[in-house]
Amino acid sequence: MSYQQYGISPQLVERIKQKMKNPAVKDRVKAVVQDLSKVDLQNKAKVQQLVRACNSILNERLSPAQEQQIVQFVLAQRIDPKNTFHLIKLWGMFR
């Protein structure tokens, strides 16, 4: 299922991808998400906190609606960061 089906705009995704090419920004985001587990990524409050932290690092201004769309997308993916297949699937979605 595509992120666009959750109302997340391709322009937002492209902006974030461009910002993530900066090694300093990438390292800061990586530090935030490094020790996440599948349980963390199924906890709505935790995901919302992660989205806000990453927004701050990326200097993005998201509306509350956009923030909720991203949270719902993450929850729906049922991501297990220890599962290589899940990571490959996500990589393919955002290439």
pLDDT in tens, 23-39: 999 999 999 999 999 99
Q: What are the extents of the domains in the chain?
A: 3-93
pLDDT in tens, 70-81: 999 999 999 999
Model confidence at 94: pLDDT above 90: no
The pLDDT value recorded for residue 91 is: 82
Query: For residues 58 and 19, what is the distance between their CA atoms, to the nearest angstrom?
Result: 7
What is the mean pLDDT of the segment spanning 38-60?
A: 95
The pLDDT value recorded for residue 1 is: 58
The pLDDT value recorded for residue 56 is: 95
Q: Kindly state the DSSP code that residue 22 receives in the 8-state scheme.
A: S
Model confidence at 95: pLDDT above 80: no
Q: Kindly state the DSSP code that residue 25 receives in the 8-state scheme.
A: H
Query: For residues 72 and 48, what is the distance between their CA atoms, to the nearest angstrom?
Result: 9
